Chain A
Amino acid sequence: GAGVSQTPSNKVTEKGKYVELRCDPISGHTALYWYRQSLGQGPEFLIYFQGTGAADDSGLPNDRFFAVRPEGSVSTLKIQRTERGDSAVYLCASSLTPAGVDTGELFFGEGSRLTVL
Chain B
Amino acid sequence: RKEVEQDPGPFNVPEGATVAFNCTYSNSASQSFFWYRQDCRKEPKLLMSVYSSGNEDGRFTAQLNRASQYISLLIRDSKLSDSATYLCVVNGAAGNKLTFGGGTRVLVKP
Which residues does A use to contact B, with CB under 8 Å?
33, 35, 40-45, 48, 50, 55-56, 58-59, 91, 98, 101-106, 108-111
Contacts and interface: CB of A to CB of B under 8 A. Distances in A.
A50 B94 CA distance: 14
B102 interface: yes
Contacts of B92: 45
B45 A108 contact: yes
B80 interface: no
B6 to A, nearest CB: 8
B97 A42 contact: no
Given A102-B31, A105-B46, A44 B96 contact: no
A43 B43 CA distance: 10
Nearest to B87: A42
Given A91-B43, A106-B46, A110-B42, A44 B97 contact: no
24 contacts: A33-B98, A40-B8, A40-B102, A41-B102, A42-B4, A42-B101, A42-B102, A43-B100, A45-B92, A45-B97, A45-B99, A48-B96, A58-B94, A91-B44, A101-B32, A102-B32, A102-B91, A104-B36, A104-B89, A105-B46, A106-B46, A108-B44, A110-B43, A111-B43
A101 B102 contact: no
Contacts, number: 64
A91 B44 CA distance: 9
Contacts of B96: 48, 50, 55-56, 98, 101
Task: List the 8 closest A-B pairs by CB distance, nearest first.
Answer: A104-B34, A108-B43, A42-B100, A42-B102, A43-B100, A102-B32, A45-B97, A42-B103
A58 B96 CA distance: 11
Interface string B12-51: 0000000000000000000110101000001111100100
Contacts of B97: 33, 45, 48, 56, 59, 101
